[in-house]
Chains A and B, each alone.
Chain A
Amino acid sequence: MMSGSPIQDSAVVTHDAPASIYVARSLAGALDALGEYGTAGAPFAGGTWIMRSPIRHQPLKTHYVAIGRLPELTAVRISSDAIEIGATITHAALAAALAGLPEFAGLAAAAGHSANPAIRAMATIGGNLATSEFAAADCVPALLCLDADVEISDRRGREHLSLTDFLKIRSTLAPGRLVTRIILPRTERKTAHVRLPLRRAGDYPVAIVSLSVSLDATSRVQAARIAVGSVEATARRWPRLEAALLGRPLDATAVARTATELTDEFVGRDSVDAPAWYRVSVLPGLVRRAAIAALGS
């Protein structure tokens, strides 16, 4: 026996508990409120994920703390050895801030080509990293190959951890903790971000390859980072392929060939959009394109 239930998602007046949304005026105020609410609360950044809860048939939280307009979190600070990105900077603003920095071409492409223009002006980088159910997030693989560190804050203070480690803990991030900044070291490198939507634009990518390489004086690969997004539930690096590039010139065709041999380490995810095998099959082609784009950058 089972019971009927409505297929309904219309106006969001349907949420069971009337949510409160506290618009924080300062970071400290936001952290206090989040600490106060505990598991009943969550940050509200761009809202482009949260406001779609009804279509996912997920209940809203009882309390949200709006952090989108905190000056502490919307800045990009660029120094000679690092750049610091505030967590609520939008995709559009990040792409604009990185425009003059070729070493961040990959991240700029990720932030500048995700979603659609209006969404890019709303969705935040922190929201992109923090949404653990969102496998297709563009910025995650792009940041993974830039050795990003994530700063997490709560009422008691802040800590830094690598993005890789953050991805491991993000689904169990304690209530009251907030991603506040993303820190990227600066080195000379060539980067690229290749996303594969099913239409030419506007879709979630079904597979992403982000790449970052440093070349030595003889144009051989000195260091390589390759991250794969959307293929599995969480984006991750591709260490065997990275290792295979070292010490050789970056040759797109050769890299793609190597990638073909190494794709078996990915177990794709099946979803309504695309079958698992497809996401894995396209990887060598995306690697090739990423290499070409990086060399051109």
Chain B
Amino acid sequence: MSDVSATMDLRRRDAADKLRGRTRYTIDRYLPGMLHAAVLRATVPSGRIVRLDTSRAARIPGVRAIVTATDAPGMIGIGIADHPLFARDVIRYDGEPLAAVAAVTLAQAQAALAAIEVEIEPLPAILTMADALAPDATLVHPDWRSYEVLLEGGARGGNVAWEATVVRGDVDAAFARPDVEIVESCFRVGRQNHVAFEPRAVVASYEDGRFHIETSTQVPWSIRNATARLLGVPASQVRVTVPPVGGGFGLKFDLAVEPFAALLARASGRPVRLVNSREEEMLTCLFRENADIRIRSAVTREGDIVGREAVVLMDCGAYGGEQIFLTTMTAHTLGGNYKLENVRMVSRAVYTNTTPNGAFRCCNGVYNTFALERHTDEIASRIGMDPLAFRRRNVLGDKDLGATGQVFESNVLGPMLDRMDTLRDATTLPPARSDGRLHGRATTVGTWFVFVGPSAATVNMNADGTVTLVTSGVEIGSGSMMQSLPQIVASTLGIAPEHVIVRAADTDAAGYDVGVGGGRTTVSLGAASLSAAQEVRTKLLKVAADMIEAAPDDLVMRDGRIEIAGAPGSGRTVAEVATRAQTVGGPVSGTGAFTGAGVPAMPGCVAGHFIDAIDIPVFAVHDCEVAVDPETGHVEVLSYRVVQDVGRALNPRAIHGQIQGGVVQGLGYALHEEVTIGDNGRVCQNGFETYRVPLALDVVPVEINLYEGAPSIGPLGTKGAGEVPILNVGAAVACAVANATGKRVQALPLTPPRVLELLLDRKPELTLPHIADKWADNLIRPH
């Protein structure tokens, strides 16, 4: 219901100030009387706290408050509440908070940290998933049984924090068929650090019995609720507001520094600023998790996948966190792309004494797509089939069943592969190079989704013809809050997008929202905003109909006017109508709400899942050409192409920007960004010198084609477009490198040493002995 298109190349309203250095992110907020806080962190991965004495620290000049475990009685988590704010008696990872201090200056706060007396009895540490799953492994959480369960259904036990399974059809029978080849592949990926340029940061104050938390987050409502739970106060006592966020990528999809500052503000009665140092960010970031993956398929010589089974181990670190939820995603990512009849998959979140992992753009999907696509190439090569032909034959099409038995609608991946052929063939092949490098190319497919979930929006019509859009949405850089949301509201009301004022997130002002991430801003917040704007539209049209003496159905809203269709210049301005409406019935506003539709899975085939089927699938086809230096193992990406399913592109230019940025982040994951954990349990890469993100010379311009028209329940047919660009970059680069070198690529990132190791056959192939040979032996609870 709108008379003007919502599609436009609207520029970002926040750009000019960001370019002038005027934007004030959370790290730039300095309040009068503000104290500076710092957190004391454990320096062993596992241990028992024998003594923690803050009395000497409290006497350091300038110190105004010190808080410890006794100040934060609650536990939080997803699925299970296993995570306290401070280590209580037991230390489970290097970097775990022990105490927090607020002082007049940061130097004083740091001096106080050094004066806290701590005695820790070190205990043996479980640093790898192999160790965690060993038969007599020490338990990271000996008391796991006593934790409050927040969602029923996941199997748990020992060091397995959560287990999700999907079982459909008769996999044993499929594998036993005489006419199939059994292909088995193993993969391992490391962690990835978001390196959001703004570290996690907060300024908290405590006024009139309520906490006000100003923080750099993607999830204001989660911060509100989780902080309250940890502190043992009602959630209504916590207000969260969010300044512009200097990069999120999923890092800020979980609570981090907020409760420390809140506690210290209450204890000191003054505003408290807490900003992670870069080193803290590098060592305790909620990384994309490391994972071990085994996948087996039974495939006929004609190229049909008749059976598939997989085991995915995801390292959640010391606490379950996001990985508990992400066990769900394996069914939709590793179980995605291809139609499957007989399938069984188990995905396990495993506790280790390492820093907790979290969410990162296309969580779980990035490495499962890498595994699936490399496995697909291994299948094609085994049965002697062209990998593209194999994909074409097997990709999900109209009415095909996905892993959990959900029925996919419409042919999307097939036509997208055709689109990629056109894109690829249109570019002249680079002249054959005689530089001695090994060249390779690959095309990969990927399946992602939009994390729908609840959102709310209010649109207030102002008498001057502008509107104020009130949501809990956060601008993290992707531009959704600056572009698609005002575009949707503006087109519904026929006003200029500049006349849509976008209120920054404030949990006291706007209704509940799951958060900005999972590609959901345009979809969920967009849908809520759309229905709020439609309510305003209906109300205005009614008033205008009286003013113009016409039927509301005959009126259109465009160019800031409400007029009779086909009679430009008739009618009144929106401001006139709004003023009139305000006089006769009070100010006009509309509210909107949205949540997922709940597409069904096949009954009984999933266990331990948070999402049984995906409401809005999003597909991507990537193509990449690489050159590998046989002397040094350096991989150069020569060209990169993306065909992305966007539903409908409201702002094509903005989506292109997201794709270029997401692909480059994926190139970092594929080639440069490595996280390793030392024998001391500490992450080895503590800064920009050793953690390498792509630089301007490392990247290529991505050729982009937006595939529109696939079905979506999103507003105006949209899908999320900012998250998915990273999805199959690891896959495309890995397959291209495998094709270039003829070697079995089983791990990411493909750093020069790792590639040279492959070329020189320095290392035996990866096997995963901690994954039991028989699929069912990997389960805590039989499915």
Contacts and interface: CB of A to CB of B under 8 A. Distances in A.
A–B contact at 8 Å CB threshold (below): yes
Interface of A: 1-11, 13-14, 55, 196, 198-204, 206, 272-275, 277-278, 281-282, 284-285, 288
Main secondary structure of the interface of B (DSSP, over half): mixed
28 contacts: A1-B119, A2-B44, A5-B43, A5-B113, A6-B41, A6-B113, A7-B41, A7-B283, A8-B110, A8-B113, A8-B277, A9-B277, A10-B278, A11-B107, A13-B105, A55-B278, A199-B694, A200-B636, A200-B697, A201-B695, A201-B698, A202-B695, A273-B690, A274-B752, A278-B633, A281-B760, A282-B632, A284-B631
A263 to B, nearest CB: 13
A254 B685 CA distance: 39
A119 to B, nearest CB: 12
Q: Which of A4, A202, A275 has its CB near the most chain B CB atoms (within 10 A)?
A: A4
A281 B40 CA distance: 42
B631 A282 contact: yes
Contact of A199 (B95, B117, B695): B695
A14 B120 contact: no
A203 B691 CA distance: 10
A4 B120 contact: yes
B279 interface: yes
Closest CB pairs A-B (n = 5): A285-B631, A4-B118, A10-B277, A278-B753, A13-B107
Given A199-B694, A201-B697, A272-B684, A8 B280 contact: yes
A5 B114 contact: yes
A47 B753 CA distance: 31
A272 B685 contact: yes
A212 to B, nearest CB: 22
Contact of B118 (A3, A9, A273): A3
Interface in B105-140: 105-107, 110, 113-114, 116-122
Contacts of A4: 40-43, 98, 116, 118, 120
Main secondary structure, interface of A, reads loop
Contact of B676 (A3, A272, A277): A272
Interface of B: 38-44, 50, 95, 98, 105-107, 110, 113-114, 116-122, 275, 277-280, 283-284, 631-633, 636, 672, 676, 684-687, 689-690, 692, 694-695, 697-698, 751-753, 756-757, 760, 762
Contacts of B697: 199-202
B682 to A, nearest CB: 9
Given A9-B278, A200-B636, 17 more contacts: A4-B42, A5-B114, A6-B38, A6-B110, A7-B41, A7-B279, A8-B277, A9-B277, A55-B687, A196-B632, A198-B751, A200-B697, A200-B698, A274-B752, A278-B757, A285-B631, A285-B632
Contacts of B694: 199
A270 to B, nearest CB: 11
Nearest to B671: A199
Contact of A6 (B105, B114, B275, B672): B114
A1 to B, nearest CB: 5
A14 B107 contact: yes
A203 B672 CA distance: 11
Contacts of A200: 636, 695, 697-698
Contacts of A198: 672, 692, 751-752
Contacts of B279: 7-9, 55
Nearest to B694: A199
A45 B708 CA distance: 58
Q: Which of B631, B676, B687 has the most CB of A within 10 A?
A: B631
Q: Which of B114, B117, B275 has the most CB of A within 10 A?
A: B114
B341 to A, nearest CB: 44
Contacts of A273: 690
A168 B287 CA distance: 42
A3 B632 contact: no
Contacts of A284: 631
A282 to B, nearest CB: 5
B120 A1 contact: yes
A278 B120 CA distance: 38
A199 B692 contact: yes
B776 to A, nearest CB: 38
A147 to B, nearest CB: 29
A206 to B, nearest CB: 8
A13 B117 CA distance: 22
Contacts of A5: 43, 113-114
B121 to A, nearest CB: 7
A177 B779 CA distance: 67
B686 A55 contact: yes
Most chain B CB inside 10 Å of its own CB: which residue of A7, A199, A275:
A7
A142 B541 CA distance: 78
B66 to A, nearest CB: 13
Contacts of A2: 43-44, 119-120, 122
Contacts of A203: 692
A284 B632 CA distance: 10
Contacts of A204: 689
A4 B686 CA distance: 18
B174 to A, nearest CB: 42
Nearest to B760: A281
A5 B760 CA distance: 43
A11 B278 CA distance: 10
A257 B631 CA distance: 12
Given A3-B118, A9-B277, A199 B113 contact: no
Contacts of B122: 2
Contacts of B760: 281
A290 B659 CA distance: 38
Contacts of A1: 50, 119-121
